[in-house]
Amino acid sequence: MRVGRILSVVVATAIALLLVVGIWEGYKWVGQQTGDYWPGTSIDLPASTDDLTMPHAADIAEELFEEVRDGRARLPLFLFLLKKGWFTLQEAAIGFTLGLTVGLGLAILMLRWRVAERGLLPWINVSQTVPLIALAPIVVTWGRQQDLPDMLSISLIAAYLTFFPVAVSALRGLQSPDSDHVELMRSYAAPWWTVLVKLRLPAARVYLFPALKIAATLSVVGAIVGEISIGTKTGLGRAILEYAQRYAVSPERLYASVIGAAVLGLLVFGLISLAEWIVVRRTGEVTS
């Protein structure tokens, strides 16, 4: 039965992928027939369909196997992206861990002191309205003054995106045990800390995992945006920036690197889903 489930996921993914390629190529074909107008009208299509704006899906796929320069060496684009992605993944992982720690810490603080909840929660919400692009140079400037490596500054930027969903959902989860459970622990004269460890934290897991999936993908986004705004010499963000500048020459490369970023996001999403399955599903708990 488990094999069947994995198989159905694989099939669904393949169908979804084919569907995207089909829509992409279908749209392109229609545009090519009508000269970029909606069929039968003289209204412009939202995006033109020439090979520069919308390269063929097959060309993008082919580009993945083209050789590119990496320092002195030459290697296929997909390997190059994998190498850069590995670097970005490390930044994202550090950022994710930092964000998780800070988010959980804030949630526990807000749980312990209602005053902290009233005082902190609005600021936590406001924090996410600051545009990341504006924040990134500030973080880097501060980081360089403190002799932090740029990689860590990027992780900090990733953490900035990550801590938010963790803090909000962890607080909800920590507050989720119903009065029976809380009274039970009170009847055992359990101190606050014990209630946290034995009751509130385990109860919060069901709330935490959906947020962790969002946080993990956000940490990748944060790392890439951080790389782009800092101007690092390596990483997936750097590759995207470079290929964006050379878009007129080979648009396929930019698309390929964007696919690389998407795959990285899917990978971390998958890793957290796996962790969720191991920790939560097998106990028969209902996930929200």
Partner 1 sequence: MSNPVLAEKAVVVDGVDKVFNVGSDSEVAALSDINLTVEAGEFISLIGPSGCGKSTLLRLIGDLLAPTTGALTVFGKSAHEARLDQDYGMVFQHSGLFDWRRVLANIELPLELRGWSKADRSARSAEMLELVRLEDFGGHYPRQLSGGMQQRVSIARALSFQPKLLLMDEPFGALDEMTREHMQLELLRIWRETHTTVVFVTHSVPESAFLSNRVVVLSPRPGRIHSVVDVDLGERSDDTRQDPAFFAKATEIREALRAVEGGG
Q: Does residue 192 bind partner 1 (CB under 8 A)?
A: no
Kind and range of the H or E run holding 67: strand 67-70
Q: Does residue 187 bind partner 1 (CB under 8 A)?
A: yes
Q: Does residue 13 bind partner 1 (CB under 8 A)?
A: no
Segment interacting with partner 1, rule: CB under 8 A, options 113-121, 174-182, 237-245, 269-277 = 174-182
Q: Which residue in the set 181, 210, 244, 259 belongs to the binding site for partner 1 (CB under 8 A)?
A: 181
φ, ψ (nearest 5 deg) of residue 70: -130, 95
Q: Tell the burial category of 273 from Cβ atoms under 10 Å away from its Cβ (0-12, 13-18, 19+).
A: middle
CA dihedral 182, 188, 193, 197 (to 10 degrees): -70
Shortest separation between residue 101's beta carbon and partner 1, angstroms:
22
Shortest separation between residue 207's beta carbon and partner 1, angstroms:
13
State the distance between the two ends of the chain, measured CA to CA, in whole angstroms.
Answer: 23
Shortest separation between residue 199's beta carbon and partner 1, angstroms:
7
x/- map, 22-51, partner 1, by CB under 8 A: ------------------------------
d(CA 102, CA 113): 16
Instruction: Return the number of the residue (185 or 261) whose C-beta is nearest partner 1.
Output: 185
Q: Does residue 189 bind partner 1 (CB under 8 A)?
A: yes
Q: Which residue in the set 44, 51, 183, 242 belongs to the binding site for partner 1 (CB under 8 A)?
A: 183
Q: Where are the alpha helices (DSSP H) in 40-76?
A: 57-63
3-state secondary structure string, 72-117? CEEEEHHHHHHHHHHHHHHHHHHHHHHHHHHHHHHHHHHHHCHHHH
- What residue ranges bind partner 1 (CB under 8 A)? 178, 180-181, 183-184, 186-190, 194, 198-199, 202-203, 205, 280, 283-285
